[in-house]
């Protein structure tokens, strides 16, 4: 791959002890002195995805580093893709109001400087139509490695918007998959904003500031909040089934990462350094999972749930041996195990988050967890209709994958998983969206400018 994408963006300063557990540095510490402000202003445009950390002291440092707790975009890729995954996220989609083209451009004009400011830990630019600068909810917090990543859904490049530009080559609506139980409230969207940070209040602040800039030009379509606790020491985090999730992910900086993630050279100029995001809201059927035996759980995945080791032997990072059979002559990694099916697919970058909304689904929502057998020793209980006013549990995974081409990387695998994956019997796909993620804005541009305005 050419361009600044060659930069060793994932490399971290060896002095930085742990990129996922930064200590807090407050805005006061960063901006409390004139010298601090000048230093911060001068630091704009530093290359690479450096993720800074605060000092070990709880008290604000006397001379804070201007890059503390910040993700510094490299000017070629948007941040929030190859950036070390932060622990909290809000993923939101907005629909643009008529006049579509003008409002879309206005939206990105407003959001681009907002994102730049918040990622630096500065207050956002003044809100339009209001005499209020900022909600202030994150005043005492640093940027906490905040990233704001933007994308555009297929409708944006359709006739309705009338942009008259070349659409991203590989942007297309996803097909329907077998067994999908999509809730129309959680499908599609014109403009995506993915907000990630190591502090939930910083995330809440950023989405609120983004929303404050849309009245009259766009409507929020859906929002999803997620979390992912980093166990530290480079270990793999767990999903809500308790599985180590992310073992086989490509690593930023590795030889295949660029090929897997970044848009091809045949894409329109605005997609250079860009990617595609597929998001699936996947409800995980916890009662069904929690009343399955360890053997059933491991077989559904093809790995040991606790250690992450393949059932063919070894430890977490041992390659899968799909040919190895047990004493009974059957493959140790079952033919319908999740990792067997997924391993044969074209690789993808997964950057998913757990979500847990508690009793959030209406009692009328279909819950196929009745009728399962309880293992011996389970206390007697029923799975009848939920009590009036109560809902069903809604927790699972905001499955997010960044790919060069959804149609060859995501779609064929999802077709196979929906048909044959044993893990899939514990899942319901309830939300779905796909977005083209443009490359980073050049100086003075808004994000997506070349993609949305270049003449064909
Ligand atoms: C809630 C739903 C899902 C759960 C709980 C889940 C869980 C897991 C786990 C625990 C692993 C093994 C560790 C690892 O390599 O990360 C894995 C691997 C993988 N999963 Fe999923 N997954 C889910 C949905 C999906 C979907 C929808 C796709 C894509 C369509 C997918 C694609 C993959 C891939 C490509 C691998 C790596 C396989 C390999 O090369 O070994 N997963 N998943």
Ligand 1 geometric centre to CA of 68 (Å)? 33
- pLDDT tops 50 at residue 12: no
Q: What is the pLDDT of residues 281-311, one digit of tens each?
A: 999 999 889 989 999 999 999 999 999 999 9
CA 436 – CA 172 distance, rounded (Å): 9
Q: Tell me if 8 sits within 8 A of 220, measured CB to CB.
A: no
Any atom of ligand 1 within 6 Å of the Cβ of 161: no
Higher pLDDT, 418 or 43: 418
Say how many residues make up the chain. 456
Q: What is the pLDDT of residues 122-142, one digit of tens each?
A: 988 888 766 667 888 998 899
Which three-class secondary structure state does DSSP give residue 115?
A: helix
Q: What is the mean pLDDT of residues 146-169?
A: 97
Output the pLDDT for position 333: 98
From the list 371, 400, 397, 396, the residue with the least C-alpha distance to 383 is: 371
Atom of ligand 1 minimally distant from the CA of 417? 30
Output the pLDDT for position 362: 65
User: Worst-scoring range by mean pLDDT, 295-299, 390-394, 427-431, 445-449?
Assistant: 390-394
Output the pLDDT for position 135: 84
Q: What is the pLDDT of residues 56-98, one digit of tens each?
A: 445 554 444 445 689 988 889 999 999 999 999 999 999 999 9
Q: What is the pLDDT of residues 191-233, one digit of tens each?
A: 999 999 999 999 999 999 999 999 999 999 999 999 999 999 9
Give the list of residues 6+ apart from residue 167 with CB closer than 8 angstroms, or none.
157, 268, 436
- pLDDT tops 50 at residue 186: yes
Output the pLDDT for position 319: 98
- Of 277, 283, 318, 342, the residue with max ligand 1 atoms within 8 A of its CB, to mutate for a pocket test, comes to 342
What mean pLDDT is reported for the chain? Answer: 84
CA 143 – CA 122 distance, rounded (Å): 8
Any atom of ligand 1 within 6 Å of the Cβ of 239: yes
Q: What is the mean pLDDT of residues 173-195?
A: 97
CA 129, 134, 137 angle in degrees (round to 5)? 145
Residue 185 to residues 222, 223, 431: CA-CA distances in angstroms? 7, 10, 8
Q: How confident is the model at residue 455 (pLDDT cuts 50, 70, 90)?
A: low
Higher pLDDT, 116 or 68: 116
Any atom of ligand 1 within 6 Å of the Cβ of 29: no
Ligand 1 geometric centre to CA of 346 (Å)? 13
* Helical pair 200-211 and 100-120, crossing angle rounded to 10 deg: 150
Output the pLDDT for position 130: 66
């Amino acid at each position: 791959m050419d361009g600044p994408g060659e930069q060793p963006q994932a490399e971290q300063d060896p002095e930085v002890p742990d990129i996922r557990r930064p200590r807090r540095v407050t805005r006061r510490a960063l901006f409390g002195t004139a010298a601090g402000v000048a230093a911060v202003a001068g630091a704009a445009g530093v290359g690479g995805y450096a993720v800074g950390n605060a000092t070990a002291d709880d008290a604000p440092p006397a001379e804070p580093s201007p890059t503390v707790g910040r993700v510094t975009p490299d000017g070629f890729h948007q941040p929030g893709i190859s950036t070390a995954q932060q622990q909290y996220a809000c993923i939101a989609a907005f629909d643009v109001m008529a006049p579509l083209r003008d409002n879309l451009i206005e939206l990105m004009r407003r959001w681009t400087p907002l994102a730049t400011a918040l990622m630096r830990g500065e207050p956002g630019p003044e809100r339009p139509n209001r005499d209020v600068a900022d909600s202030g909810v994150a005043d005492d917090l640093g940027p906490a490695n905040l990233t704001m990543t933007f994308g555009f859904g297929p409708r944006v490049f359709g006739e309705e918007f009338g942009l008259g530009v070349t659409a991203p080559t590989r942007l297309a609506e996803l097909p329907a998959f077998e067994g999908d139980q999509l809730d129309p409230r959680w499908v599609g969207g014109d403009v995506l904003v993915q907000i990630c940070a190591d502090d939930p209040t910083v995330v809440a602040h950023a989405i609120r500031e983004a929303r404050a800039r849309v009245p009259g030009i766009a409507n929020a379509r859906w929002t999803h909040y997620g979390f992912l606790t980093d166990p530290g020491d480079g270990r793999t985090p767990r999903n809500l089934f308790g599985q180590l999730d992310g073992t086989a992910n490509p690593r930023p900086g590795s030889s295949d990462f660029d090929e897997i993630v970044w848009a091809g050279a045949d894409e329109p100029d605005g997609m250079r350094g860009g990617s595609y995001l597929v998001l699936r809201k996947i409800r995980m059927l916890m009662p069904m999972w929690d009343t399955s035996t360890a053997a059933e759980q491991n077989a559904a995945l093809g790995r040991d749930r606790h250690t992450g080791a393949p059932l063919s032997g070894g430890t977490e990072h041992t390659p899968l041996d799909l040919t190895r059979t047990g004493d009974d002559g059957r493959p140790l990694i079952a033919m319908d195990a999740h990792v067997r099916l997924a391993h044969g697919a074209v690789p993808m970058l997964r950057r998913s988050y757990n979500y847990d909304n508690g009793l959030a689904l209406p009692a009328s929502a279909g819950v196929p967890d009745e009728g399962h057998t309880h293992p011996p020793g389970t206390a007697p209980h029923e799975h009848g209709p939920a009590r009036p006013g109560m809902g069903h549990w809604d927790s699972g995974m905001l499955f997010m994958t960044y790919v060069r081409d959804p149609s060859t990387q995501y779609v064929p695998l999802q077709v196979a998983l929906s048909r044959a994956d044993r893990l899939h019997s514990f899942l319901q796909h309830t939300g779905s969206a796909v977005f083209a993620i443009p490359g980073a804005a050049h100086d003075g541009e808004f994000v997506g400018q070349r993609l949305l305005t270049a003449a064909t």
